[in-house]
């Protein structure tokens, strides 16, 4: 009985770990589908424009832009999950131990500077930034680029979706700021269950709300990581007044995003080899790697 309960608990734990990934995927595709519907069916064009050639071009450009952003979000997320940031398969012997190296009693190995153990991933991660609960994996040396680019296109996509959903807010508030319109925007679920609104109105209100809340959350994460990027820090290092790995804005971009930092954000298919190996790092005022 105890063994059965243990197995059931482990399965529930694994399901809970993957739940944020499924929810994120569902929301991303739901928002994309709703915005596509707005573009194709309820495009905010003047009546005389809707039957012209401009209408087709307008819709095509919008669809091309949003599916370009969706493709980048999905591909960056896929590579982020596929590329392991851990020390598995990495030869740490090198030139011997130096300043900043530690011993991990869980992994039973010495680890280089900026490396730390993740108790969720159950492994040490090179230049560990943080454990991302939304993806269920650590952000580290080898997958940081895909994480940041995924945040970038999520931010752009939510900004675009929020602008496109402005028409939804206008329709809801066209009769004035009433109790009904406020409740529809704030608690659409309760309005649907109580029969106050139709399923269609609920869907548009819920997705419009999700765009606003998602945009605010992603903005906070994205600009915080940009702030850290230009300071040459990870999330674990940001509270420190010392910034030994701050090599200047351009060099920090090269260290984090690779040699083609200026173009790699366009697509995850653009190769951008990393400058360092995740074990040795250049420090401020030094042209040589810190051992």
For the annotated catalytic residues, the residue numbers are: 132
Q: What is the DSSP string of the chain?
A: -HHHHHHHHHHHHHHHHHHHHHHHHHHHHHHHHHHHHHHHTS----TTTTTSHHHHHHHHHHHHHHHHHHHHHHHHHHHHHHS--BSTT----TT---TT-EEETTTTEEE-TT-EEETTTTEEETT--EEETTTTEEE-TTTHHHHHHHHHHHHHHHHHHHHHTHHHHHHHTTT-S-HHHHHHHH-HHHHHHTTSS-HHHHHHHHHHHHHHHHHHHHHHHHHHHHHHHHHT--TTTTT-S--TT---HHHHHHHHH-TTTTTGGG-TTS----SS-SSSEE-TT-SSEE-
């Amino acid at each position: 009985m105890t063994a059965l309960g243990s197995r059931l608990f482990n399965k529930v734990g694994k399901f809970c770990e993957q739940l944020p990934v499924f929810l994120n995927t569902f929301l991303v595709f739901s928002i994309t589908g709703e915005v596509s519907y707005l573009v194709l069916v309820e495009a905010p064009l003047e009546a005389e424009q809707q039957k012209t050639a401009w209408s087709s071009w307008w819709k095509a450009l919008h669809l091309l832009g949003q599916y370009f952003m969706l493709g980048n979000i999905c591909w960056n997320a896929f590579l982020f999950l596929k590329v392991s940031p851990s020390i598995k398969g990495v030869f740490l012997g090198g030139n011997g131990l130096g300043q900043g190296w530690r011993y991990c009693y869980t992994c039973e190995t010495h680890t280089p500077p900026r490396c730390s153990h993740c108790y969720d991933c159950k492994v040490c991660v090179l230049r560990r930034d943080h454990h991302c609960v939304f993806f269920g994996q650590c952000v580290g040396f080898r997958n940081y680029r895909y994480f940041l680019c995924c945040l970038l296109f999520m931010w752009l996509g939510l900004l675009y979706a929020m602008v496109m959903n402005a028409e939804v807010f206008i329709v809801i508030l066209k009769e004035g700021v009433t109790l009904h319109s406020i409740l529809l925007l704030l608690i659409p679920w309760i309005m649907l269950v109580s029969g106050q609104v139709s399923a269609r109105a609920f869907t548009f209100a819920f997705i419009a709300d999700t765009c606003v809340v998602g945009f605010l959350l992603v903005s906070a994460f994205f600009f915080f990581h940009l702030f850290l990027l230009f300071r040459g820090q990870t999330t674990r290092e940001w509270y420190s007044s010392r910034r030994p790995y701050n090599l200047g804005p351009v060099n920090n971009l090269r260290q984090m995003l690779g040699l083609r930092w200026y173009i790699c954000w366009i697509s995850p298919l653009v190769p951008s080899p990393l400058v360092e190996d995740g074990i040795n790092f250049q420090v401020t005022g030094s042209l040589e790697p810190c051992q």
